[in-house]
Amino acid sequence: MPSIIPTTLSTPRLILRPLLESDAAALFTIFSDPEVMRYWSTVPWASIDVAHELIANDIAAHQEGRYLRLGMQTQADNHLIGMCSLFAIDLQNLRADLGYGMGSTHWGNGYMHEALTTFVEHAFDAFKLRRLEADIDPRNAASAKTLERLGFIKEGHLRERWLVDGVVSDTDLYGLLRRDWLAR
C-alpha cells in the first residue's frame, strides 16, 4: 500500500491534523476518562505512555500506508479535543473503517459531526473509496445519531463481539456508500 500523506483539513471551527508528540498529554486526558472509553473496545488508558506509543505508531502507519489518524483541534484556542481514524483500508475492495473519539467536555457541541463530515469527504475523495464502515456499541446512542446524521445506515448487529476488561458487549455495524454520500 502506498504511503498515506498525513494531511491537514479545516472546518469552520476545527483543524484536523496529524498528531504531534506534544499532543500526548491531551490525548491521555481524553482517553484515560472512563466516560469517554465507556463504549470503546479497550479499557481507559492507564499511562501517558499509551499516548506516546499511539503517536509513534501513527508516524510509522502513515509511512507504511496502514491507516490515517488525525487529531481534532479547535481553531479558537488550538486545543486538541479528539481524533478520527481511517483504518483497515482495503484499496482492492475500495473500503475502510472509520473510528473516532472526543473528550467528554466537548460532547454536545456538534464538533464530531463537523469533523467527520470533512473527514468522510476526504476519505472518499483521497482514497476513491466505495464504502466506509463503522462499528459501535449498541448502547452508544450519541454515536449512532452521529453516524446516521452523516448518512450511515445500520446494517447489522454482531452479538458478543468484544471482550473488554471482562465485559462482553455487542456491536452494531454501520455502512455508508460513496454514491449515497454524494446524493445527500
In a domain? residue 172: no
In a domain? residue 119: yes
In a domain? residue 110: yes
Mind listing the pLDDT tens digit of every residue in the chain (184 residues)?
445 777 899 999 999 999 999 999 999 999 999 999 998 888 999 999 999 999 999 988 888 888 999 999 999 999 999 999 999 999 999 999 999 999 999 999 999 999 999 999 999 999 999 999 999 999 999 999 999 999 999 999 999 998 888 889 999 999 999 999 999 8
Rounded Cα–Cα distance for residues 131 and 150 (Å): 13
pLDDT of residue 1: 46
pLDDT of residue 46: 96
DSSP SS3 for 26: helix
pLDDT of residue 59: 86
pLDDT digits (tens, 9 = 90+) for 70-111: 999 999 999 999 999 999 999 999 999 999 999 999 999 999
CB of 1 closer than 8 Å to CB of 91: yes
In a domain? residue 180: no
pLDDT of residue 174: 98
pLDDT of residue 5: 72
Number of domains in the chain: 1
Beta bridge partners of 177: 131
In a domain? residue 138: no
In a domain? residue 168: no
Q: Which range marks the domain in which residue 101 is found?
A: 9-130
Question: In which residue are the cell numbers 506516546 written?
Answer: 52
pLDDT of residue 63: 82
In a domain? residue 2: no
Looking only at the bridges linking them, the beta strands covering 131-136 and 95-102 are parallel
CB of 11 closer than 8 Å to CB of 72: no
CATH, residue 50: 3.40.630.30
